[in-house]
Chains A and B, each alone.
Chain A
Amino acid sequence: MWTGLTLLAVEAAEATQEGGGLFDLDATLPLMAIQFLILMAVLNAIFYKPLGAAIDDRDTYVREAKGNAQERLAKAEKLAAEYEQSLAGARREARTVIEQAQAEAQKLAAQSQAAAQQEAAAQRESVQQELDKQKTAAMSQLETQVGSLSDQILGKLLGSAA
């Protein structure tokens, strides 16, 4: 194999005179360059330009859509905050209304309770007075009866003894 490689070196030197070989530069070079430029022009027309435009369009579309979405999100968040605020206000109002009503009701209840108690006390007092009156009446009656009865007993006892 090494002999082969040395042969390669020797033959490479010879090749230049006879044509052919590895380092055979000829008209292939400029034609290849022209061909490459044509390929570049064709690809620019059917590949780089349209697909590049598609990529850029998509980029701007995505960026715009993202911007819009962010704007809308911010708006929605603002609205939500507003609603939240008004909701909190309404809640607070409702609580004060309820508290007021409760206080009023309590006051009313206390008032009527006090009135009822007063009435009950008054009634009780009048009943008591009546009772007392009747009791004294009954007592005085009883006393008179006791006097007559004791008179009768006395008369009877004295009569029988006499």
Chain B
Amino acid sequence: MLNTLHLINSSIWAGPLAKLELGNHYYWTLGGLKLHGQVFLVSWFVGALIIGVAFLASRKIERVPSGLQNFMEYALEFIRDLAKDQIGEKEYRPWVPFIGTLFLFIFVSNWSGALIPWKLIHIPGGAELAAPTNDINTTVALALLTSLAYFYAGFRKRGLGYFAKYIEPIPLLMPINILEDFTKPLSLSFRLFGNILADELVVAVLVLLVPLFVPLPAMALGLFTSAIQALIFATLAAVYIGEAIEGHGEEEHG
């Protein structure tokens, strides 16, 4: 079973330290369905953190913002600009909550995985608490929601004419156009999952080899990667939605 990655198989080093746990889950069962408990625990923490900060920021709104309100307004303006750039001035407003929640959830998840020493909290099943985005279920869920979102956006805007995109610019490209609807969520989910998991693995391996100071640059790089991945996911989701609204052939929104 894939739960022990023997890093160094030499007899001198083989010990309890020299192995890395991978792919273990803290299973919950709900009506006969299996759930990954560790993912839910951290995702609740992330959600509570975001909701708490958002609540504190918008508790009493002032015209001249200060402190937390100012900070969250900065975040909101950032998200709005991101959505506006990709979807267009006319259509972006209803999509701000979706894009924004994607960005905030992924960003806070990634950074909580990189900054909070979850490994100090022991949970049963040999699993470890980590960023929810290093579980394929989370990233596939987010990617499928993005797919649903852009289909919904396309249908709402163009009705059944949305299907015309499959034969644009020429009907010969139909297989590729259909394939695109599968590759989009696939690439979205695996990019995020792979980057976050790889980052956590690199840090873990470096910690195993040299427990002091050496992993620090990798950790700093991990923070950077995490932020970039959140931005990429949100931007691509916005791009797909904007594309579905705008259509391939027509250039009505500039």
Q: A-side interface residues toward B, CB under 8 Å?
A: 1, 3-5, 7-8, 11-12, 14-15, 18-33, 35-37, 39-40, 42-44, 46-48, 50-52, 54-55, 57-58, 61
Alpha-carbon distance between A44 and B96 when the two chains are bound, in angstroms: 9
How far apart are the CA atoms of A27 and B113 in the complex, in Å?
Answer: 22
Which residues on B sit within 8 Å (CB–CB) of A19?
34
The answer to whether A28 touches B137 (Cβ under 8 A) is: yes
Most buried by A among B1, B55, B57, B98: B1
- A47-B76 in contact given A27-B30, A36-B142 (Cβ < 8 Å): yes
B: which residues have CB within 8 A of A?
1-3, 5-9, 22-25, 30, 33-36, 39-40, 43, 47, 50-51, 54-55, 57-58, 61, 63, 65, 69, 72-73, 76-77, 80, 96-98, 100-101, 104-105, 132, 135-138, 140-142, 144-145, 197
- Taken together as a complex, chains A and B put the C-alpha atoms of A11 and B6 apart, in Å, by 12
Cα distance A52–B61 when bound, in Å?
11
Q: Check B24 against A26 for contact (C-beta < 8 Å).
A: no
Number of A-B contacts (CB under 8 A): 152
A36 vs B57: C-alpha distance when bound (angstroms)? 21
12 A–B contact pairs at CB < 8 A? A3-B9, A27-B33, A27-B34, A29-B137, A39-B50, A39-B101, A43-B97, A43-B104, A46-B55, A47-B72, A51-B58, A55-B73
Take A26-B35, A43-B97, A46-B54 as given contacts and tell me if A15 and B23 are in contact as well, using a CB distance cutoff of 8 Å: yes
A48 and B136 contact, CB distance less than 8 A: no
Taking CB atoms, residues of chain B closer than 8 Å to A30 are 141
Pick from A7, A31, A33, A44: contact of B35, CB under 8 Å: A31
Q: Is the CB of A22 within 8 A of B137?
A: no
Binding site secondary structure of chain B = helix
A29 B23 Cβ-Cβ under 8 A: no
Q: Is the CB of B33 within 8 A of A26?
A: yes
- In the complex, the chain A residue whose C-beta lies closest to that of B33 is A27
Complex Cα distance A55/B234, Å? 22
B104 x A36 contact (CB < 8 A): no
**Bound CA span A4–B100, Å:** 40
Residues of B within 8 A of A11 (CB): 1-2
Q: Is the CB of A25 within 8 A of B137?
A: yes
In the complex, residue of chain B having the shortest beta-carbon distance to the beta carbon of A9: B2
Contacts of B101 in A (CB 8 A): 36, 39-40, 43
Instruction: Tell whether A29 pairs with B141 under 8 Å between CB atoms, given A43-B51, A43-B100, A48-B96.
Output: yes
